[in-house]
Structure 1
Amino acid sequence: MRSNAAKYESTSVSLKAGSKEIHLLMSNGIADMEVEPGVTEAEGARVWASSSRAVTALKLAYLGWAYQGFAVQDNTDNTVEARLFEALLKTRLIQDRQSSNYHRCGRTDKGVSAFSQVITIDLRSSQFCGGLGVTLPENLDLGTKSKASTSELPYVKMLNRVLPQDIRILDWAAAEQGFSARFDCQSRTYRYYFPRGSLDVELMGNAAKRYEGTHDFRNLCKMDVGNGVLQFERTILSASVRPLQPQQVSSTEQYDLFVFEIKGLAFLYHQVRCMMAVLLLIGQKLEALEIINQLLDVEKTPRKPQYSMAVDYPLVLYDCHFDGLTWQQEAEEVSHVLSSLQRHWTQSAVKAQVLLGMIRGLEERGEEFCGLCLSAGLGTPRGSPGRARRSGWGEGSLGLPSEAYNFFRTPLSPRLEPALACRSGLVHFG
């Protein structure tokens, strides 16, 4: 149960963000998009006045690599959320964003993908006999009620027909009034994929366990005080590093893929990518396990080292768990989504093998091989005192020897307390 102060903080931040995003949608022409030319505003209002609405949870998957993030932004309309609202308006499932009671479970950054992002929103419904989360139109006549459909609109099919191929609706669920994808989420799970290379993955697994529990993560996130985030304590339920394939447990193959999986109640801005950056340093033996304890001890480490976080594209919001939702699938759409993902996988897997064939060819010729180069592109410690080890395909600075790098020699961020005190002076809990 959130405290009154925490509830106030969450609600005020949510209202501020929602107001800003509605303004951004309108400025980008999305909120006022004309869906059906020739339909007047008055006619549209009459249609909505006679329509039922239902609180609905939508589960969506998207490949975030081509987008500037999930949430709407003031400098671009190339976001997942912008495409989603275009589809909702085009299918006339909502009248506008302002009245849609929209909530998202999480906001992923530029380049980050999701398999189970969840939103809640009030959608047009075919239900005129009531039901979970259904609001009936005023002055509903008995004739309409007697002809009411027993099945809901095919939300998944309707939206997937107009969404881009890299954004897919997976399931929908009826929800009760007041249900929020943001505040009623029980846990969120992220996955970050990476190659073994020359990393000590066993050491990384031991390090990941130190994230578990309730800690102050201000040194392992981007501190977003300007947007009202004043509390940095979060609870991590589980954290692990494991091979993607069970048979790779005893393997030493440098090209084996591993995953850092972390499950928590909620996460801070850029938290997972900062945590992964530290794990990569530990895996390369540039830092000891104790670095995590130091970063979590904000009394001893009150100023965050200005290190770079891990890159975006390997990160996936893999699961958002909710109690009390019964997800509905549309079998035909599941088949379509699966086929689309299989096509994406085939193309990517074949391209990966083309690259691997070239690499193997060079290795067979006796070319010097640097396993650290496999993970060099996943993150770059800022302020490291030396040049990167180069490879033919790019460069990164994670391959520096331990004696050339020290985490706490990087520049330090200002202390957080003055900013918190300033913001707290503007917030009153009553």
Structure 2
Amino acid sequence: MSESLKRRIEALEAELEKLQSQLKEEAGDGDETMTDCRSDGSTVSSKKEGKKSGKERPFDFTAHPRRHVALRLAYLGWAYQGFAVQENTDNTVEARLFEALLKTRLIKDRQSSNYHRCGRTDKGVSAFSQVITIDLRSSQFCGGPGITLPENTDLSSNTKGCTSELPYVKMLNRVLPQDIQILDWAPVEQGFSARFDCQSRTYHYYFPRGSLDVVLMADAAKRYEGTHDFRNLCKMDVGNGVLQFERTILSATVKPLQPQQVSSTDQWDFFVFEIKGLAFLYHQVRCMMAVLLLVGQKLEAPDIIDELLDVKNNPRKPQYSMAVDYPLVLYNCHFDGLTWQTEADEVNHVLSSLQQHWTQSAVRAHVLHRMIQGLEERGGVSSNHCLLIEGSRRKNYRPLLERPCCESLESRINHFVKKGRLEREEGENGEEMVHRGKKFKHSHNSSSLSVSSEMPKLTSDPKTD
């Protein structure tokens, strides 16, 4: 065999080895795993043959219908700085909610989502039935309540047909934290708003009997019912344009959690202050509860409620601390005519999550209870002080109506006029008008507010507890 032939064979063998190596590499790239989302919310992996693409293809929201829906959610607010998104922190329930909506590609962005919330719970406050309305991606090319079809969609030539709707609850709950969960959803018409169409809101505030006189508290709570000016029982949020403090309370009760506890005197029995109203002011429920706790300790008489609601004789709020935040729950938001879509599996999923939280909290509560009893058996004496009011308790109690008062409403208005957040002008009938100034940061419109009378009208969103 000639030398030239040997060199040719060696070259061909080297070329063959090189080609085999390239084929192995390409076969590995061709086994790229793709994750698809099924209509039931589950994920399935498939093999995509061919070379790995360098860029992820952007999701085309314009190719999908949109559906205006109401979502009902429960959350434990103890670890969050409130429900609504804030400028100085992202540790809010709403921030986690929108992260989930974006991750599941149910919305493109917040700005285009037609989003409204029923209430704005404060730092540490929980909710069992908070409601939001929003436009979500839909699978319903055949139309339906709240559906907006993509442009140039021909229903007569629609080949996709009517399928089941995307499993909104399951999709969101699988990516939300365990202390924020969606309960159910309802299709609503485009003009429906969780903010404006809510008929009433119900709050619960839970507390142990301790040494409180719950009969006196129940008597005092009834005095909240009706339409009153609650400026002495809230935080006056004049800087955000709230100048009208008249609200309607439909019912207010103090009752035991268990019916058999009605005749009991056990200090460990639990009670609930339940209050139902059309809308609430900033910190209103916690201020109302603080006064009830003073009544329960017999530091104030039940008729202190009547005095505080009499803004003609008491136009300025006495200085007092609010009740603490963690026992407060936005328990229900009431709407007419909604058909909630509930799935048994998802209800059980949320129930299991709540049972885990309850088990841990209940065991800890009983550990503490036994330690307290153990110290009492050794001669220790438990304090009768109420531990549900913020701040420290003074040795000598000073009645509310004898305390220094906060600024008056007119003084607060003047303050924010000087700051440029509110502006005054003369109305058509010669009455003075106040509207949001140029420096008002948190508003998207400029609603005029009459201040010629004691209770001016306001059209902005009522800020709730």
Normalised by the length of structure 1, the TM-score is 0.83
Instruction: Out of 303-312 and 420-429, give the one that drifted further.
Output: 420-429
Aligned residue in 2 for 1:365? 378
Aligned residue in 2 for 1:410? 403
Q: Residues 35-78 of structure 1: CA distance to partner in whole angstroms, max 9, x if unpaired?
A: xx9446xx43xx11111001100000000000000001111100
1: CA distance, partners of 2:155 / 2:341: 29
2:79 aligned to 43, 62, 66, which one? 66
Q: 1:54 aligns to what SS in structure 2? A: strand
Aligned residue in 2 for 1:180? 193
Change over 3 Å in CA distance of 1:418–1:329 after alignment to 2? same
Letter of the 2:228 counterpart: H
Per-residue deviation, 1:142: 5.2
Give the share of equivalent positions with the same residue, in percent.
74
Give the alignment of 1:369-384 within 5 angstroms: 369-370=382-383, 372-373=384-385, 375-376=386-387, 378-380=388-390
Aligned residue in 1 for 2:179? 166
Change over 3 Å in CA distance of 1:144–1:285 after alignment to 2? farther
Aligned residue in 1 for 2:434? 425
Instruction: Out of 89-98 and 415-424, give the one that drifted further.
Output: 415-424
Per-residue deviation, 1:342: 0.8
2: CA distance, partners of 1:268 / 1:429: 17
User: Is residue 153 of structure 1 aligned with residue 169 of structure 2?
Assistant: no
2: CA distance, partners of 1:264 / 1:49: 41
User: Is residue 112 of structure 1 aligned with residue 106 of structure 2?
Assistant: no
User: Is residue 249 of structure 1 aligned with residue 262 of structure 2?
Assistant: yes
Change over 3 Å in CA distance of 1:161–1:143 after alignment to 2? farther
Per-residue deviation, 1:417: 2.3
Aligned residue in 2 for 1:384? none
Q: Is the 8 A contact 1:52 1:127 kept in 2?
A: yes
2: CA distance, partners of 1:336 / 1:264: 31
Q: 1:226 aligns to what SS in structure 2? A: helix
> Which structure has the larger Rg over C-alpha atoms?
2
Greater per-residue helix proportion: 1
Give the alignment of 1:13-162 within 5 angstroms: 38-39=55-56, 43-44=58-59, 47-141=60-154, 145-162=158-175
Letter of the 2:217 counterpart: M
2: CA distance, partners of 1:143 / 1:49: 19
Q: 1:353 aligns to what SS in structure 2? A: helix
User: Is residue 189 of structure 1 aligned with residue 202 of structure 2?
Assistant: yes
Q: List runs of 5+ in structure 1 lacking aligned partners.
A: 1-36, 382-395
Aligned residue in 2 for 1:237? 250
Runs of 4+ in 1 over 3 A off after TM superposition: 37-40, 141-144, 418-424, 427-430
2:393 aligned to 381, 394, 397, which one? 397
Aligned residue in 2 for 1:215? 228
Letter of the 2:282 counterpart: Y
Normalised by the length of structure 2, the TM-score is 0.77
Q: 1:231 aligns to what SS in structure 2? A: coil
Q: Residues 329-354 of structure 1: CA distance to partner in whole angstroms, max 9, x if unpaired?
A: 12111111101111111111111111
Q: Residues 65-123 of structure 1: CA distance to partner in whole angstroms, max 9, x if unpaired?
A: 00000001111100000000000000000010000000000000000000000000000
2: CA distance, partners of 1:258 / 1:367: 26
Letter of the 1:397 counterpart: R
The number of aligned residues is: 370
Q: CA RMSD in A?
A: 1.8
Q: Is the 8 A contact 1:128 1:144 kept in 2?
A: no
